[in-house]
Amino acid sequence: MSIGDLVEDFVSLQKYGQYLRGWDAKTGMLVDEADDALESVLTIRFTVGKDLEPKWLVVCDRNPDGVPFKQADRNKVSVGLIGAYSERQLSWATGTALAKLTEAQSLNELLANASRTARTSLDADRPNTLKNFDAAAVKSQEVAKILGVPVVEAYKAHLDLSSVNLKVGGLALHDGDIPLRQLGLGSRRMLLCGIQKMGLEEGHVTLFDEVEFGLEPHRISRLLKHVREDKRGQYFLTTHSPVVLRELTVNELYIVHSKAGTVRVIPAFCEGLVAHEAQGKIRSSAEAFLSKKVVVCEGATEVGFLRGFDDYQFGKGKDPFSYQGVSLLNAGGASKIKALAEAFKLLGYEVCVLADGDAEKQFSPAHEAELRDKGIPVHVWTDKLSLEERAFQDLPWASVIASVKLAQTVPSLTVYANVRSKYLKELSEDVDTWAESADLRLAIGKAAKSCDWFKDITRGDLWAQAISPSFGDPDFSKKDILVKLFKLWEWAEHV
């Protein structure tokens, strides 16, 4: 971590002046030698050894061994953490936000007086409250005399002020008689954020781990607005919530990728992305930004179909898409595929595309070639067919009939009429009597496509489940649709 806007003490040669580095805010580059044209920064290396002892070192390439970054200097940086365990921060323990808000007062003297008051209160009702304890004390005194242990006055039960755990950390914030540490996790964290905002100094750095923990969406929105209003320092928020992403602007977001021990931090608005386009992608595709690999699907049918295929593979003992870090993204049309795929690739994600072949004006072979040149695999059904048309050309006949019967379960669909309008020949209303033919396959495919039999994620998923018995068919495994599905799966497993 590198810190800038340094206090004068840090830049002196007696302190860390020999470790100063240069930061170019325009290019985002860190230079090992400080320069008048660059902002002076210090790089802090934090390590935890085998003994679990943390170490903070100020380092640079010229002096990689570094020097210790002392506790007093770390306090000057004003780093605060709002994590999952925040109960201590709602007390007046040393270094807490509440302690910083409190005017100078001898808390130790206050607590010592409280201990003495407790002793006096206990003495006042001794015959009732301590009767049995004092009886044990008398017996102990008798044993002491027998063994020659001197007794100055008389043994009795009483509070040992040095042993009573009454200290600064025991003074905690209450709502009436209820300690605020008993609030829900989200409420504690929101309250602590507000207290820290009042108590933190200029130039503070506040770390907020998993900001969404314990908070409903409307409270997340309120908290983030509260954070934005603090212009005195920096907040670093981590999140795995699409709700949080949608509340932030593209200029506020950074994406962290870790692969094979290498960590990359990429601004969501990077070179090559237009700001308003990137903002729209984050709002509409927030879940995909939280994955490692993105499959850009032309529509909801493809997303649902791949979900069903994922279930089939999982049932065969394969690791599911979720384990492989794969997100299935609905592009919402062929015209949007290329821009989405390129955007996610620019932002450091592994990307591939699954698209129909029937919309070349929106997603052409030239578009496919451009994406492949950028390292993005593209899977498009052959013969310029949609998923439905390709599937009904390739599926075993039993699965074709199963698909038609699945569509018949949707009350809003008139499946027989749909097929009959495309077939233009005599056709029984009893689906089980339909005989396989090239014309009928073609008609069913066109009907399924034009009448939206599977045009949502749920129905696409159910469709894949209905035909999943055919996925193990040796003949079907050679067909275009299954060949491409397994190629996509191989990409998900090995990239």
**pLDDT at residue 256 above 60?**
yes
Whole-angstrom distance, CA of residue 421 vs CA of residue 183: 64
Rounded CA Rg of the chain: 34
Q: Is residue 220, in this structure, part of any structural domain at all?
A: no
Determine the residue type at 3: I
Q: Is residue 203, in this structure, part of any structural domain at all?
A: no
One domain, residues 19 and 156: no
* Residue 393 neighbours by CB distance under 10 Å: 20
- How many domains are contained in the chain? 4
One domain, residues 280 and 304: no
Q: Is residue 476, in this structure, part of any structural domain at all?
A: yes
From 154, 169, 184, give the residue that closes a domain: 169
Q: Is residue 53, in this structure, part of any structural domain at all?
A: yes
From 56, 76, 96, give the residue that closes a domain: 76
Tokens of 222: 């309120």
Beta-carbon contacts of residue 194 (< 8 Å; ≥ 6 apart) = 226
Q: Would you call 279 helix, strand, or coil by DSSP?
A: helix
Give the pLDDT score at 106. Answer: 57
* Residue 459 neighbours by CB distance under 10 Å: 21
One domain, residues 434 and 413: yes
One domain, residues 405 and 298: yes
**pLDDT at residue 400 above 90?**
yes
Whole-angstrom distance, CA of residue 355 vs CA of residue 485: 12
Give just the sign of the alpha carbon dihedral 393, 398, 399, 405: positive
The length of the chain, given as a count of residues:
495
Please list, residue by residue across 311-330, b when 16 or more beta carbons sit within 10 angstroms of its beta carbon and e when fewer do.
Answer: bbbeeeeeeebeebebbbbb
Q: Is residue 95, in this structure, part of any structural domain at all?
A: no
Give the pLDDT score at 97. Answer: 63
One domain, residues 270 and 330: no
* Residue 366 neighbours by CB distance under 10 Å: 10
Give the pLDDT score at 197. Answer: 67
Give the pLDDT score at 388. Answer: 96
Whole-angstrom distance, CA of residue 131 vs CA of residue 135: 6
Q: Is residue 306, in this structure, part of any structural domain at all?
A: yes
How confident is the model over 70-96, as pLDDT tens digits? 888 887 777 777 766 666 666 766 667
One domain, residues 278 and 297: no
- Per DSSP, the residues of 314-359 read HHTTPPPTTTTTEEEEE-SSGGGHHHHHHHHHHTT-EEEEEE-SS-
One domain, residues 31 and 120: no
Q: Is 484 exposed, middle or buried (0-12, 13-18, 19+ CB in 10 A)?
A: middle
pLDDT-above-70 percentage for the chain? 88
One domain, residues 399 and 486: yes
How confident is the model over 307-347, as pLDDT tens digits? 999 999 999 999 999 999 999 999 999 999 999 999 899 99
Measured CA to CA in angstroms, residue 186 lies from 98, 131, 178, 214, 226 at distances of 18, 46, 17, 4, 15
Q: Is residue 223, in this structure, part of any structural domain at all?
A: no
Give the pLDDT score at 372. Answer: 97
One domain, residues 67 and 36: yes
* Nearest-10 Cα torsion for 137, 138, 140, 146: 160
One domain, residues 155 and 63: no
- Contact between 73 and 57 under an 8 Å Cβ cutoff? The reply is no
One domain, residues 278 and 294: no
Measured CA to CA in angstroms, residue 109 lies from 100, 113, 152 at distances of 18, 6, 29
∠ CA 490-304-462 to the nearest 5 degrees?
110
**pLDDT at residue 226 above 60?**
yes
∠ CA 159-161-167 to the nearest 5 degrees?
125
How confident is the model over 434-453, as pLDDT tens digits? 999 999 999 999 999 999 99
One domain, residues 126 and 265: no
Helix (H) or strand (E) holding 55: strand 54-59
Indicate the average pLDDT of the chain. Answer: 86
Domain that holds residue 320: 289-494
Q: Is 269 exposed, middle or buried (0-12, 13-18, 19+ CB in 10 A)?
A: buried
∠ CA 409-415-416 to the nearest 5 degrees?
125
Give the pLDDT score at 142. Answer: 79
